[in-house]
Amino acid sequence: MIPSPRCFSLGLAILMALPLLAQAPTQTPPPPTHAPSEEGTIQRFRAHAAPRAVAQRPPLSTEERNTIRRFKEAKPSVVYVSAIFPVQDLRTLDITKIPTGTGTGFVWDEWGHVVTNHHVITVEEQGKRIGDVNEVEVTLADGKTYKGRVIGTSFAYDISVLQVFAPLNAMRPIPIGRSSDLQVGQAVTAIGNPFGLDHTLTKGVISALGREIATGYNTHILNVIQTDAAVNPGNSGGPLLDSGGRLVGMNTAIAAATGASVGIGFAIPVDTLNRVVPLLIARGRLEPPSMGFVTMGSYEAQQVFGITRGLVIREVDADSPAGRAGLKPLEVDAEGRVKAMGDILLAYQGRQIESEGQFMAMLELEAPADEVVFDVLREGRVIKVTLNLKAAKKAVPTSI
């Protein structure tokens, strides 16, 4: 390629300028100058380098001694919860268990039960819930980690109970208090694992009572405690203690648009925990009515069928309200492949169904009538199906 006249002229100009550049004097900054008095001062004072004398500490205040004591007493009851989610390699079909989230929990009783928030064991992807874990790892205050399983869940109250397979003598139940007689201004402390920093203590006061907060399942928790004790991501599921070291609430949410604490935290009152947790330990769920159908998980339905709203009926018990009402399940062949779509539940008692968690929350909070009505999508048409629950059998935890 032949250079253009413009390029040739530019190159010639550069060549002619090179000797001039070579002759230009190099500009170097002058060395720093220090006054002799400054150097002398520095050298003279270096000779005095030595550890500082320790000032005598005044006695700890009564409040400080109480806080230290209560923290030491409560620490063995507070645990670190890691949710474990199985992931399958599509190429090798190997199952790998990976941690998907962390939070806090506390030992409920002498039988190895740990209480935490349900959202601590929820798996999310890009802000959307894709499922819940069944297996967890629980690290005790002594640093030892044990396997745990989720044995009870309430969607409506955002509470889960874990059975931890640790030596029972290594798990110290937390003292239980009462939330009905709490007062605004009362001192409280929170212990948790914010940002993975285990057994972090923060202190504050009860700043309000009787608050109402929303859960991720379109329900609201009532009589919530508001506190200014700093709580952050990772504090969820941790205990809120009164000055006597008793559990008065479970830290569950913060008021912050960015996810960082702004001095307003919320805790589920212990009176609610003391009512709900024993039921979850005994039955696994707050016992819903037996309707006789099993649904496909919302995430699975979206991945398999592209369905983003409502519940896909997977199975129907013929001798149940659902079976007698004619609800239709998925039709599958002998190898489990879907042959035909079943019914899709769009609404319950006139309210839209967004997910299985939200539907379970509705059933937990409301005692259903003798008859309930579903809006059902069947073969491209929306119809109403009425279930008669009068003759329903006892609920089974694996079905709704």
pLDDT value of position 214: 83
pLDDT value of position 304: 79
Average pLDDT over residues 367-372: 78
CA gap 388, 99 in Å, rounded: 43
Record: fold of 293-388 = Pdz3 Domain (2.30.42)
pLDDT value of position 195: 85
CB burial class (10 A; 0-12, 13-18, 19+) of residue 214?
exposed
* pLDDT score of 86 more than 60: no
Q: Which of 158, 228, 317, 375 is catalytic?
A: 158
CB 140 within 8 A of CB 233: no
Average pLDDT over residues 92-97: 49
pLDDT value of position 260: 55
pLDDT value of position 85: 66
Per-domain residue ranges of the chain: 72-170, 187-283, 293-388
pLDDT digit string, tens, across residues 38-60: 888 999 899 899 999 999 999 99
Q: Which of 82, 113, 118, 119 is catalytic?
A: 119
pLDDT digit string, tens, across residues 138-189: 999 999 999 999 999 998 899 999 999 999 999 999 999 999 999 999 999 9
Phi/psi of residue 22, nearest 5 degrees:
-65, -30
- What single-letter amino acid sits at 40? G
Average pLDDT over residues 19-23: 52
CB 246 within 8 A of CB 187: no
- What single-letter amino acid sits at 364? E
Average pLDDT over residues 17-29: 57
Known catalytic residue at 61: no
Is residue 45 classed as helix, strand or coil in its secondary structure? Answer: helix
Measured from the Cβ of residue 61, the count of other Cβ atoms closer than 10 Å reads: 9
pLDDT value of position 12: 46
Average pLDDT over residues 292-317: 84
pLDDT digit string, tens, across residues 313-351: 999 998 899 999 999 998 888 777 778 888 999 999 888
**pLDDT confidence of 192, banded at 50, 70, 90?**
very high
CA gap 253, 234 in Å, rounded: 10
Element spanning 128, H or E: strand 128-132
pLDDT value of position 88: 47
* pLDDT score of 299 more than 90: no
Known catalytic residue at 118: no
CB 94 within 8 A of CB 88: yes
> 187-283: same fold as 72-170?
yes
Virtual torsion, Cα 297, 298, 299, 303, nearest 10 deg: 100
pLDDT value of position 257: 56
Q: Which residues pair with 268 in a beta bridge?
A: 250
Instruction: State the average pLDDT for the chain.
Output: 82
Known catalytic residue at 236: yes
* pLDDT score of 7 more than 50: no
CA gap 365, 286 in Å, rounded: 9
* pLDDT score of 134 more than 80: no
* pLDDT score of 22 more than 70: no
CB 150 within 8 A of CB 118: no
Q: What is the DSSP string of 331-359?
A: EE-TTS-EEE---EEEEETTEE---HHHH
Nearest to 247 by CA among 193, 157, 181, 178: 178
Pick the range with the lowest mean pLDDT from 77-91, 107-121, 143-157, 165-179: 77-91
pLDDT digit string, tens, across residues 249-272: 999 988 755 555 577 899 999 999
CA gap 386, 326 in Å, rounded: 9
pLDDT value of position 5: 45
Which residues have CB under 8 Å from 359's CB, separation 6+?
295, 311, 345, 348, 353, 400
CA gap 88, 70 in Å, rounded: 44
Domain 72-170 CATH (choose: 3.40.50.150, 3.40.50.720, 2.40.10.10, 1.10.150.240) = 2.40.10.10
Q: Which of 236, 298, 320, 355 is catalytic?
A: 236
Nearest to 283 by CA among 367, 394, 365, 372: 394
CA gap 225, 273 in Å, rounded: 13
Which residues have CB under 8 Å from 274's CB, separation 6+?
176
* pLDDT score of 96 more than 70: no
* pLDDT score of 242 more than 90: yes
CB 85 within 8 A of CB 95: no
**In the chain, % of residues over pLDDT 70:** 80
Record: fold of 187-283 = Thrombin, subunit H (2.40.10)
CA gap 159, 138 in Å, rounded: 16
